[in-house]
Amino acid sequence: MQQLLVLSGKGGTGKTTVASALIQLSQAKAFADCDVDAPNLDLVMHQTVEPMTTNYFGMAKAIVNEEVCIECGQCQSQCRFDAIIHKQQKEAYVIDLNACEGCGVCELICPVDAIHLESVIDGQLKLYKDERVFSTAQLKMGSGTSGMLVTRVKKQMIEQAIDTDVAIIDGSPGIGCPVIASISGVDYVLVVAEPSISGMSDMERIVTTASRFGVKTFICVNKYDVNIEYTDKIEDYAKRKHLEFVGRIPYDIQAVKAINQGNTIVDIDCASGCAVGQIYETIKKRL
């Protein structure tokens, strides 16, 4: 199975719009949404079945037994994440579960064994399975384990999809933990760039990050006509870095309409959909 991951660095450049169109065009039997803290692919993929949902347990978190706590404060002084709060009215220390990273130092240090670590639900994994396999997830608000969940989403897709030539993965913005987790193991990255000073800067950061993994990277520009000067700059950058520039997608108000009706841009006849069609033809020859 060849895996193509759609990334962007900057948010909102059109990752999901492009990824969903590529899924339709390639008739991929397997696809995934790795943007686990803001997933959207489910809104346009016309799922015919209800998802199978499983709880995702991230890192275990500390719990203080208030009856046993002697308020010595050693846990608080050793916690590097400022996750331990003294509650005077309770005469005990309590854990700020949002700040706790589950390292276990407080459990180690507590002289009266008042602290233990407990698994908590950090989100939901979802699997839609009809003739296609669609793996997605929703991270719990404020969780710090997005990278682990991304790895699970991809693993779920790979385990469920047998006899599949191509899998398309919608990534998350940025260059950090979830992005790094999503790049690991994929064959190709398609970067959707935006022709602006911000888009250019963010594109360079994601391309550099992806290059560390030695993954073959394609670049396309969305809404290219908003600023043709920057579109040209991005194309030049791709050339300089010996990355294949695979196409330009115009700003298209029909794209907004298609998405808002729960369709991909290749489900209707529109300029942006045609442009992604050409991009797909180019990429297909390389896969």
Partner 1 sequence: MKIAVLSGKGGTGKTLVSVNLASVAEKANYMDCDVEEPNGHLFFKPMIEHVESVKVKIPNINNEKCTGCRKCVDFCRFNALAYVNHSIKVFEDVCHSCGGCMLVCPENAITEREKPIGTIERGTSEKVQVHTGILNMGEASGVPIVKQLIKNETRDDQLVIIDAPPGSACIVMESIKDADYCVLVAEPTIFGTQNLSMVHELVELFEIPFGVVLNKCLDEDNPAESYCNDHRINIIGKIKYNQNLAVLNSRGEIVSRIDPQYQTIFKLILEHIVEEVGYATTSRT
User: Distance between CA atoms of 208 and 241, rounded to whole angstroms?
Assistant: 10
Is the Cβ of residue 113 or residue 141 nearer to partner 1 in the bound state? Answer: 141
Cα→Cα distances 236→166, 205, 211, Å: 29, 16, 17
**Counting contacts by CB under 8 A, is residue 254 touching partner 1?**
no
Query: 3-state DSSP call for residue 151?
Result: helix
Is the Cβ of residue 80 or residue 240 nearer to partner 1 in the bound state? Answer: 80
**Counting contacts by CB under 8 A, is residue 270 touching partner 1?**
no
**Counting contacts by CB under 8 A, is residue 78 touching partner 1?**
yes
Contact 286, 215 (CB under 8 A): no
**Counting contacts by CB under 8 A, is residue 268 touching partner 1?**
no
User: Please, what is the minimum distance in Å from the beta carbon of residue 61 to partner 1?
Assistant: 11
**Counting contacts by CB under 8 A, is residue 195 touching partner 1?**
yes
Using the rule CB under 8 A, which residue among 49, 52, 253, 287 binds partner 1?
253
Instruction: Identify the CA nearest to 99 among candidates 44, 157, 142, 51.
Output: 142
**Counting contacts by CB under 8 A, is residue 105 touching partner 1?**
yes
Is the Cβ of residue 65 or residue 262 nearer to partner 1 in the bound state? Answer: 262
**Counting contacts by CB under 8 A, is residue 109 touching partner 1?**
yes
DSSP string, 86-110: EEGGGTEEEE-TTT-----HHHHH-
Residues 6 or more apart in contact with residue 107 via CB below 8 angstroms: 62, 115, 116, 117
**Counting contacts by CB under 8 A, is residue 180 touching partner 1?**
yes
Cα→Cα distances 255→44, 124, 192, 227, 269, Å: 12, 30, 15, 18, 10
**Counting contacts by CB under 8 A, is residue 202 touching partner 1?**
yes
**Counting contacts by CB under 8 A, is residue 147 touching partner 1?**
yes
- Under DSSP, the state recorded for 31 is E
User: Distance between CA atoms of 87 and 263, rounded to whole angstroms?
Assistant: 51
The 14-53 site mask, x for binding partner 1 (CB under 8 A), equals: --x------------------x-xx-x--x----------
**Counting contacts by CB under 8 A, is residue 217 touching partner 1?**
no
Contact positions vs partner 1 (CB under 8 A) = 8-13, 16, 35, 37-38, 40, 43, 59-60, 78, 80-81, 98, 101-105, 108-109, 139, 141-144, 146-147, 172-180, 194-199, 201-202, 205, 208-209, 212, 226-227, 230, 251, 253, 256-257, 259-260, 262
